[in-house]
Each structure stands twice: as C-alpha cells, then as structure tokens.
C-alpha cells in the first residue's frame, strides 16, 4: 500500500510545506480538481509528476461555478478515497480547503474572461466560467506552481485559463493533457456515475459522432457545417439531446464556416439531469489535418 500523503486544509499549511521546496529550486506541478478522482484526473497527476519535481493536487468543490439548479449539493465528495488514489498516482501533497477558506466572509472579488466565457458551455451556464476562473486564479496564487495541468476534455476551460493568465500576467505555464476514456470511448467524468444504464450506453455516441466528423475532415471535408451535420445525424440517430454542437476557432472560440487553422469541435449533451461534454481539437493546414491538444 502507498503511504498516505499530507493533506493541507489551510493556505498557511500548504505554503509552509511548499516554501522549502521552492527554495531548493524544485519545480512544482499543480493539478486543480473537484475530487471524485478517476483515471482522467490521475493522468493529469502522472503528467505533473513527469514534468515537475513535486506534484500538488487540490480537491475543492467550487460553489461559485455551479448554477442554482445544478448539482453542487449532490456532487460526490470522498476525501479519504481521493487521498488514497492521489497518493497511488504519485501526488506529493493534497490541498483540500473548505469553502470558508477559499471564500471567507466578505469575499467580493471575481475574475472574468469576458466574451469567451459566454460562448459554448457558457451560453447555457451563466456565471459558470466566472466561477472557474475566479477559483483557478485564487488557487494559482496560493499554490504558485511552475506548471498547472488541465484536461483537454474541458477545452473551453483551457482556452479561458490560458487567456486569463496571459491577460493578467500570471507567471504559470499551462499544460493540457489528452482525455482519458472508457473502453467505448465515453470521456471519463465524475458525472458518468449519475447515468442510468441505457443513458450510459447512449452516452458513448458523443465520442462516436465526434470521431466520424473528424474522419471526414481528415479525408478532405473543409465545411464546418457539413462536419457538424455528420456528427448531428449520429447523435440524432440515438435520440441524444444535444445542447450544442459547435465548430469554433480554438484561439477565440468564434464559429467557423471553413475549417482552417486550429479548430475545436465541441459537443454538450444532456442525459436526463446529467450534462456531458466532449470535443476534438485539430489543426488544418491545407491538405494536412493533425489532432492537437487545446
């Protein structure tokens, strides 16, 4: 069994653990999560271990990024299980602050990447990305890592965080990590556990639809509309309730007509109360198409 890892609940506790490492010139890698860890989170952690000397993982279910009718109260929480999984994947320190530690009484500052926050997932989840960027900015200030790791599954999040760090002159380097999937292609997510068995089976259609559209692009299709129609037909064929299916430029999330440059093809779909997202990112340069990370 892997020995347990230290868990800091306070900002001072974490910072006093990291101070000597920083002084010794160690590179700190940071993986922010909301817990309920699965192999997707663990692959971020493994990447953090590979690219840095000391890996910090945070577990914080951020109330600011949930809408009033969303699943904040029932979001799965099990710090003991998360600590064991994180230790097994090589985490060196856990940061698990309480909501009061992150948002003490009187907290009234927000960080918002305007415009980009309202596109794609932001259109249906007003305030969601303001909650994400606010907490990520705060966690980055607290941990002050060299590198911070995010999953490609949440491509819009990666784009927003890169923009926030650029616009506000943050010193941290962002690394994105490929999406980890179930055997049938469904992107691993803490929310997959909510799916009823028939929905769980249908949910794999999202990945299938994205791959089919991507394959036609690899074979020469350059119309965003046509690529979207191919994915949409597959999703409709399985009666999937699509919230958005969009082809946008990866840099500014603006809708594309012609596929050129760095492209994000993103899907959000609903299965009952559960909302799932997935995407494919690729670079189109003339006849060449190459899958990339956001």
* Residues labelled catalytic: 41
Minimum gap (Å) between residue 80 Cβ and ligand AMP: 17
Q: Strand 28-33 relative to strand 147-151: parallel, antiparallel, unpaired?
A: parallel
Minimum gap (Å) between residue 27 Cβ and ligand AMP: 19
Nearer to ligand AMP, 19 or 273 (CB): 273
Minimum gap (Å) between residue 33 Cβ and ligand AMP: 4
Number of alpha carbons in the 13 Å side-chain half-sphere of residue 25 = 0
Return residues touching ligand AMP (CB under 6 A): 33-34, 40-41, 43-44, 150-151, 153-154, 177, 179-180, 187-190
d(CA 264, CA 28): 30
What are the distances in angstroms from CA 2 to CA 48, 92, 111? Answer: 18, 11, 38
d(CA 246, CA 268): 9
Q: What's the CA dihedral at 217, 253, 117, 132 to 10 degrees? A: 50
Nearer to ligand AMP, 64 or 154 (CB): 154
Nearer to ligand AMP, 177 or 234 (CB): 177
Nearer to ligand AMP, 135 or 240 (CB): 135
d(CA 101, CA 11): 8
d(CA 205, CA 77): 28
Minimum gap (Å) between residue 65 Cβ and ligand AMP: 9
Of 147, 133, 142, 172, nearest to 30 by C-alpha is 147
Which strands sit side by side in the sheet containing 7-8, from one edge to the other? 7-8, 93-95, 54-59, 28-33, 147-151, 173-177
Nearer to ligand AMP, 24 or 73 (CB): 73
Minimum gap (Å) between residue 77 Cβ and ligand AMP: 11
């Amino acid at each position: 069994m892997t020995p347990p890892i230290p868990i800091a609940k306070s900002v001072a506790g974490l910072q006093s653990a990291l101070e000597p490492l920083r002084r010794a010139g160690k590179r700190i890698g940071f993986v922010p999560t909301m817990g309920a860890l699965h192999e997707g989170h663990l692959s971020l952690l493994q990447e953090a271990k590979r690219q840095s000397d000391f890996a910090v993982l945070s577990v914080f279910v951020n109330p600011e990024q949930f809408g009033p009718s969303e699943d904040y109260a029932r979001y799965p929480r099990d710090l003991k299980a998360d600590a064991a999984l994180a230790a097994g994947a090589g985490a060196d320190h856990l940061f698990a602050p309480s909501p009061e530690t992150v948002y003490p009484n009187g907290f009234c500052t927000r960080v918002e990447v305007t415009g980009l926050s309202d596109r794609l997932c932001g259109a249906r989840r007003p305030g969601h990305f303001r909650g994400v960027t606010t907490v990520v900015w705060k966690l980055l200030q607290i941990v002050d890592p060299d590198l911070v790791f995010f999953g490609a599954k949440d491509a819009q999040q990666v784009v927003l965080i890169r923009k926030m760090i650029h616009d506000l002159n943050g010193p941290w380097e962002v690394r994105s990590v490929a999406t980890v999937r179930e055997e049938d292609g469904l992107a691993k997510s803490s929310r997959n556990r909510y799916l009823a068995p028939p929905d769980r089976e249908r949910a794999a259609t999202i990945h299938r639809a994205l791959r089919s559209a991507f394959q036609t692009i690899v074979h020469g299709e350059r119309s965003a509309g046509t690529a979207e129609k191919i994915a949409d037909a597959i999703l409709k064929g399985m009666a999937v309730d699509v919230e958005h299916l969009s082809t946008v430029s990866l840099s500014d999330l603006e809708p594309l007509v012609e596929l050129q440059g760095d492209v994000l093809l993103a899907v959000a779909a609903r299965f009952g109360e559960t909302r799932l997202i997935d995407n494919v990112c690729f670079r189109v340069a003339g006849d060449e198409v190459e899958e990339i990370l956001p």
